[in-house]
Amino acid sequence: MLSRLKPGTSTITRFGKFTHNPLKKPFFSREAFVLLLLRSSPTLPLLRQLHALLLVHGSLHVPHSQLLRAYVGNGAVRDALHVFDHMPQRSTFAYNSIIKGFVDLGRSSDALCFYNNMIREGFKADNFTYPLVLKACTGVSDIDRGREIHKCVEFEGVFSCNVFVRCALVDMYAKCGSLVAAREVFDEMPVRDLATWGAMICGTMQGGDWSEGLVLFRRMRSEGFGIDSAILATVIPACGRLGAPGLGMALHGLVVKFGVIGDLCVANALIDMYCKCGDTQIADRLFRTMEFKDVISWSSLIAGYLQNNEFAKSLGLFVEKMESGLTPNSVAIASIMPSVSELKLFKLGKEIHGYAVRRGHERDRFVASAVIGFYCKNGLMREAESIFRTVSDGDIAIGNSMITGYALQGDLDSATTTLRRIQEMGFRPDSVTIVSVLPLCNRFTMIDQGKELHAYATRAEFGSVVSVNNSLMDMYCKCGFVEFAKKIFDTMTERNTVTYNIVITALGMHGRGEEGIEFFDHMKEQSIEPDKVEHSTLGSTNPDMVKEVLSNKCGYYTKNDPNPHLQALLGKGQGSALQQMWLLHQE
């Protein structure tokens, strides 16, 4: 029946015939005809014509709620509000429709205001209302309001077990940064659907807990749930963050198995994962086989080459993108500037800066940060400062770039002045700011300033950020406070190779080789592969311990095929104790 109701003038004409020829009995009533039209997803112009005819022929009894739904479906909230204001009798359904319209348009604050009006008017929220208003809380990151609505859900009781309401609660808590509350709601659910699993996994990943996100993913699979492209696009990048290429390849197999390799988000996630795992060759092959590519596809591979120090390839892909007719956006411009800087292509860097200005990207925070970084690395602080003065009100990231530039030049006074300035402007220094300033405290052994930054990092709850902890440890070690560094090490919930490098190097430099070997053992127990820094440190500080390191601690070395890290350690001359010990080990 609906196939006959093609949107257009003919439909309105047919409606007009019904209203002007009451003697002729139609196939079905005019009210039914209008309802069918409203439910057939009419275009906005047709809907407005239909609404006008209904106003002219006011004898028709068509529910206002159907008009509301149709207007909201077209994103026309203003028209929907006009209908709502003239409703003789409102309902929860009508309020839900308006709230949905605001949420769909991203107007979360308006959605919450309308919800308040609904409650004040004495209407009760239902299982459709709660997911909408919880999504609105997520939109404005208002976790306190979300908790209030959660209490209302529990008080009502009848909705507390509704899977859609519980899923919305999980999503709200996770996206507002309260993973503990999200997990509590999730664990209490007697029945979970794929959307709930997806919300919990995505929230965990967004919170930076990559390992736990993968554990949840395995649990979901073990309970027999399938996989959709959204979950895969969230899980795959975790393998890159954790440096787990084997698991990433296994997920790649699932992508092929479930036939979602053509999904753009999934393909982009795979490119990002392989790049972060150091395999840009596979990432490039994937990129070449993609039928459709978007800005993220190009930017991911360009950034991937940059991360792996393949600066020429990064620049080459950028040029290829331009030759293909695609106009570089602000993200692409920002991602290529570090490669231009590393390749010492100063003239090209200035040309790209000029291109960004002509395209109106000069105030974009990513572009401004990248251009400032480019000028700072080339020692042109005056040019960098000029850009900073123009756009410093834009974002903390721009201030971070300027501070990092001063750090590269060893200018502590200018760095601290800039830090105070961005604080006065209302920006809160983040983990990148701390990591940028701390090396200056190392260089000038300004332990008091370093301690102040440590105190700020603690107050700002950066204690779980690995890069911040590593920088603090490095600062304390270089200032001679190794015990302070060890205390930070003991409190860290996540460590990486750099963490162990810092503490082992410091212990070695202070003649505490035995403790260094204990940390070396601990690193192996945590399945963190040592690099040449640890080996060089242990071997150079205490040659008498080399036999211990070779024979007992590094069993994965063979006589005929020494580990590359150990080969680097051996390059100390034929007469060194280390070289002699290695020759004995081969015998």
Tell me the CATH number at 156: 1.25.40.10
pLDDT tens-digit map of 492-516: 888 888 888 888 888 888 878 778 7
Whether the pLDDT of residue 289 is over 80: the answer is yes
Q: Print burial letters for 86-114: b (CB count within 10 Å at least 16), e (below 16).
A: eeeebeeebbbbbbbbbbeeebbebbbeb
Looking at the structure, do residues 97 and 169 belong to the same domain, yes or no?
yes
156 and 205 both lie in a single domain: no
In the predicted model, is pLDDT for residue 552 greater than 60? no
- C-alpha dihedral sign at 96, 102, 103, 107: negative
Confidence of residue 20 (pLDDT cuts 50, 70, 90): very low
Q: Record the tokens describing residue 53, joined without a space.
A: 């005819």
Q: Which domain holds residue 106?
A: 61-191
Query: Of the residues 250, 282, 314, which one is the last residue of a structural domain?
Result: 282
Q: Count of CB atoms within 10 A of residue 417's CB?
A: 12
303 contacts: CB under 8 Å, gap ≥ 6? 275, 314, 335
Answer yes or no: are the C-beta atoms of 55 and 83 closer than 8 Å.
no
**Which of 132, 161, 191 is the C-terminal boundary of a domain?**
191
Average pLDDT taken over every residue of the chain: 79
166 shares a domain with 89: yes
441 lies in some domain: no
The answer to whether residues 232 and 186 belong to one domain is no
**Per-residue pLDDT at 43 exceeds 80:** no
Residue 302 belongs to a domain: no
Is residue 42 in some structural domain?
no
Q: Is the pLDDT of residue 124 over 60?
A: yes
* Share above pLDDT 70 across residues of the chain, in percent, rounded to a whole number: 76
Q: Which tens digits make up the pLDDT trace of 370-412?
A: 999 999 988 889 999 988 888 866 678 888 889 888 888 888 7
Phi, psi (degrees; rounded to nearest 5) at 279:
-105, 75
97 and 200, same domain (yes or no): no
Answer whether residue 83 is part of any domain: yes
Over the stretch 158-211, which tens digit does the pLDDT of each residue have? 666 788 999 999 999 998 888 899 999 999 988 889 999 999 999 999 888 888
Q: Is residue 16 over pLDDT 80?
A: no
**Does residue 100 sit within a domain?**
yes
Q: Indicate whether 231 belongs to any domain.
A: yes
Mean pLDDT over 136-150 rounds to 91
- At 478 the pLDDT is 87
Residue 562, domain member (yes or no): no
Q: How many CA atoms lie within 13 A of 36 on its CB side?
A: 16
Statement to judge: residues 158 and 65 lie in one domain: yes
Lowest mean pLDDT among 141-150, 463-472, 516-525, 534-543: 534-543
Grade residue 135 by pLDDT with cuts at 50, 70 and 90.
very high
Say how many domains are in the chain: 3
Residues 70 and 179 reside in one and the same domain: yes
Residues 148 and 165 in one domain: yes
pLDDT of residue 160: 66
Kindly state the average pLDDT of the residues 360-370.
87
Looking at the structure, tell me whether residues 77 and 159 fall in a common domain: yes
Task: Quick: pLDDT tens for 446-460.
Answer: 788 888 888 988 888
Say if residue 93's pLDDT is above 50. yes
* DSSP-derived secondary structure letter, 90: -
Please tell me the distance from the alpha carbon of residue 530 to that of residue 496, in angstroms, as a whole number: 10
Q: Give the CB-side neighbour count of residue 315, counting CA atoms within 13 A.
A: 16
* Statement to judge: residues 202 and 253 lie in one domain: yes
What average pLDDT does range 239-263 have in this prediction?
Answer: 90
What share of the chain in percent tops pLDDT 90?
A: 26
The single residue listed with the structure tokens 């996630």 is 269
260 in any annotated domain:
yes
Same domain, 185 and 227: no
Sorting pLDDT into bands at 50, 70 and 90, what band is 418? confident
Cβ–Cβ under 8 Å, residues 526 and 499 = no
Both 198 and 167 in one domain: the answer is no
Task: Write down the pLDDT at residue 191.
Answer: 87
pLDDT in tens, 224-234: 888 889 999 99
Last residue of a domain, one of 264, 282, 300: 282
